[in-house]
Structure 1
Amino acid sequence: MTTVTTATTTKQPSLVGGACIIASVCVGAGMLGLPSAGAGAWTVWSVLAIALTMAVMTVSGWLLLEAFKLYDLNVSFNTVTSDLLGEKVNAFNNLTVYFVGGILLYAYTTSFGLILQGSLGLESKTASVLFVFIASSVVWHSTRAVDRISVVLICTMLLSFVFGVFGLTVHVDFSLLMDVANQQGEYAKYAMALLPIALTSFGYHHSVASMRAYYGEERKAKYAILGGTSIALFLYVIWLVSIFGHLSRDSFGPVIEQGGNVDVLLGVLGTVVASDKVSQAINIFSVSAILSSFIGVGLGVFDYIADLFHFDNRSKSGRTKTWAATFMPPLVLSLLFPFGFILAIGYAGAAATVWTCIIPALLVLKARQRKGAEQGFVVAGGKLIPYAVLLFGVATAVFHFLTMLDILPVFKG
């Protein structure tokens, strides 16, 4: 075990900058799954579910910071897990990281293919192939290319989100938002099925080590994480209010029947939005969100695969091998088994509980047994907090599989 190094710079980065980094990691195409996944729970219970998830996921990131404090600033998630929990646990953790990345690429590929099918008139599978080859070429080219494209996409997302959502929020129908027409409706029992999708929407934990190194300490990284997850929660609530304030609860039936696919949701939303410009802004936001998430997740999986198989990332042949291992399996699965968007995101959420909740809790419990663990950054609450995070992660994964087995109630519109 190595000792902690200290930052050498006299002026640290701003908390606003770090919070924006965390928020940009959280907010992506997973946001597009929240309305369909929350249709059963509707407004109040959906907001409560994502608020609870935000709180737990924020604390779980803090638990990682506490475990990381015993190591150098350049330490990785992989290194700490291997040292504290052993190689077998680390291998399983890495497998879930790859699975989540792969299933997200699969979901984005399928969704974008369906959107292109509607806008360009292409067959969805052909559109998916074109999308993967064009978008993944940015990742194959270089990280710098991803950086430049991401800046453009984020700016596009912000502008289209502000214009589109503002156009929706000023015309929210309160009776729809509160589901006034359905006085005997049941909502709370559907909130459990929303948790895996909500958890995926706050998955920033692979960036915790980067935040710690960014600030050179744990405390500022803690507040940056809190700021980032708070921004994400704020945007999610606005988005849900805008959608639920325009679509009746029953109108989600066709969307859910099609697996919550984004193209179906956008099509239904387009029928009730009076302004064509607002509708176009929402569509642009959705396309930008999926493309941005695909490239961002793709880069992470790309680097993971290159490190795992020791491919040469400096040569064209090495990068081509990495590209094939990264993007071809999700594309093939998308062509053979075009599951719904919500189903795929749900599986990703169930697997993500391992490295966003379970592993952070186990890491900090183990780290607190080390000498010097009581000094420096410590998450308040004693053992209660890590055990609560662990329980939330296990419960979320269980809820997902119980929903898949039709043991938990599933809203079908």
Structure 2
Amino acid sequence: MDVMAPEGTRYLPYLLMTLPFCIVSFGFHGNVPSLVKHYGKDPKRIVQCILIGTLFALFLYVFWLLCTMGNISREDFRPIIAQGGNIDVFITAMSGILNSASMDIILTFFANFAVASSLLGATLGLFDYIADLCKFKDDNGGRAKTAIVTYLPPALLCSIYPNGFLYAIGYAGLAFAVWAIIVPALMAKASRKKFGSPMFRTWGGNPMIYIVLVFGVITMLAHILSTFNVLPTYH
């Protein structure tokens, strides 16, 4: 079984390709307005909430990678990639290796739950934004309308284009790098200059702002280079 990479393999270009996906997967700071709505203006509690939630998600991601990719050889990934690389193809490949009906059920449940929870986590801030934008009332009827507007379009698109998620998440990472990394950093810099010391101020000062900006630019470049096949891919 081919489980080792060829000698001299460089992993950095492959890691760069994952940046847009990781940004979408762990970019929970877009939910800050919703957390403020739930917890009030309590910066310490909100930071703890985001930190604990992110670490928990990271633990599950690492656990998933160890349990799945640790059992599939490098060569077995080729047909998975050739078939689009979607989660159903991946689960089918795992089922052929494990050969266990109970494990099939567990893997399917875990995979579907991971996608569903990722969707809910990523759209929490969007949910409240749409409610404010459309001026829906904060009652059962109003929140039902908000849920329809928020979740029905992506549900329909996923039904029509089952593999569309894999393509969309990369472009989502590109957009996320702009409006959730670069723009907030610029806003923080402008806010500090105009209003001085706010009620909550993260550590690092201006150097941290510049680091965040550079990271956002690198993430954008990673997606653009990947789109034009400049970065290597495993196939």
Q: TM-score, normalised by structure 1?
A: 0.49
The C-alpha deviation readout for 1:294-319, integer Å capped at 9, x for no partner, is 45666765554454344678797996
Of the candidates 227, 230, 233, which is equivalent to residue 404 of structure 1?
A: 227
Q: Percent identity?
A: 37
Amino acid at match of 1:222: V
The reply on whether 1:323 has 2:148 as its aligned counterpart is yes
Which of 31, 34, 41 is equivalent to 1:207? 31
The question of 1:362 aligning with 2:186 is answered yes
Contact 2:13 2:232 in 1 (8 A): yes
Instruction: Tell me: CA distance 1:235–1:313, structure 2 relative to 1, closer, same or farther (3 Å).
Output: closer
Q: 1:352 aligns with which of 176, 183, 192?
A: 176
Q: Distance in 1 between matches of 2:156 and 2:46?
A: 36
- Measured in 2, the distance between the counterparts of 1:322 and 1:280 equals 29
Indicate the residue corresponding to 2:218 in structure 1. 395
CA–CA separation in structure 2 for the residues paired with 1:381 and 1:299? 28
Q: 1:334 to 1:391 in 2, by over 3 A?
A: farther
Q: Give the corresponding residue for 2:18.
A: 194
**Correspondence 1:261 to 2:86:** yes
Deviation of residue 387 (structure 1)?
1.0
Task: Give the deviation of 1:245 after TM superposition.
Answer: 1.4
Separation in 1, partners of 2:101, 2:24: 31
What is the CA–CA distance in structure 2 between the aligned matches of 1:303 and 1:316, rounded to whole Å? 14
1:270 to 80, 95, 112: 95
CA 1:378–1:249: 2 relative to 1, 3 Å? same
- The CA deviation at 1:409 is 1.4
**Whole-angstrom distance in 1 between the partners of 2:190 and 2:64:** 39
Deviation at 1:399, TM superposition (A): 0.9
Q: Return the letter of the residue paired with 2:208.
A: I
Residue 203 of structure 2 aligns with which residue?
380
Going from structure 1 to structure 2, the CA distance change for 1:257 and 1:189 (only over 3 Å counts) comes to: same
Cα distance change of structure 1 residues 316 and 338 upon mapping to structure 2, 3 Å threshold: same
Distance 2:42 2:131 in 1: 29
Indicate the larger mover: 363-372 or 214-223: 214-223
CA contact (8 A) 1:258 1:264 kept: yes
CA contact (8 A) 2:28 2:122 kept: no
CA contact (8 A) 1:193 1:399 kept: yes
| Superposition TM-score, scaled by structure 2 size | 0.81
Amino acid aligned to 1:189: P
CA distance in 2, matches of 1:212, 1:317: 20
Matched, 1:242 2:67: yes
Q: Structure 1 residues 397 and 309, CA, compared in 2 at 3 Å: closer, same or farther?
A: same
After superposition, residues 47-196 of structure 1 pair within 5 angstroms as 179-180=3-4, 182-196=6-20
Q: Is the 8 A contact 1:311 1:321 kept in 2?
A: yes
Shift of the 323–378 alpha-carbon distance from structure 1 to 2, 3 Å rule, reads closer
Spell out, residue by residue over 1:264-288, the C-alpha distance to the aligned partner (whole angstroms, 9 max, x if none).
0111111111433223211111122
Q: Is the 8 A contact 2:182 2:216 kept in 1?
A: yes
Any unmatched runs of 5+ in structure 1? Answer: 1-174
Q: Is the 8 A contact 1:365 1:386 kept in 2?
A: yes
Task: After TM superposition, give the deviation of residue 293 of structure 1 in Å.
Answer: 4.2
Corresponding residue of 2:167:
343
Report the counterpart of residue 288 of structure 1 in structure 2: 113
Q: Report deviation, 1:202.
A: 0.5
Q: Is the 8 A contact 2:83 2:89 kept in 1?
A: yes
SS at match of 2:214: helix
Amino acid at match of 2:192: R
Which one-letter code corresponds to 1:265 in the other structure? Answer: F
Q: 1:201 to 1:292 in 2, by over 3 A?
A: closer
Counterpart secondary structure, 2:18: helix
Give the distance between the partners of 2:150 and 2:34, measured in 1 at CA.
25
Question: Which letter maps to 2:179?
Answer: W
In 2, are the aligned partners of 1:262 and 1:341 still within 8 Å (CA)?
A: no
Cα deviation, 1:92-123, whole Å, max 9, x if unaligned, reads: xxxxxxxxxxxxxxxxxxxxxxxxxxxxxxxx
Q: Which amino acid aligns with 2:152?
A: F
Equivalences, count: 234
State the alpha-carbon separation in 2 of the partners of residues 215 and 307 from structure 1.
17
**Aligned with 2:46: secondary structure?**
helix
AA matched with 1:282: L
1:306, 1:216 → 2: CA distance? 20
1:218 CA displacement: 2.1
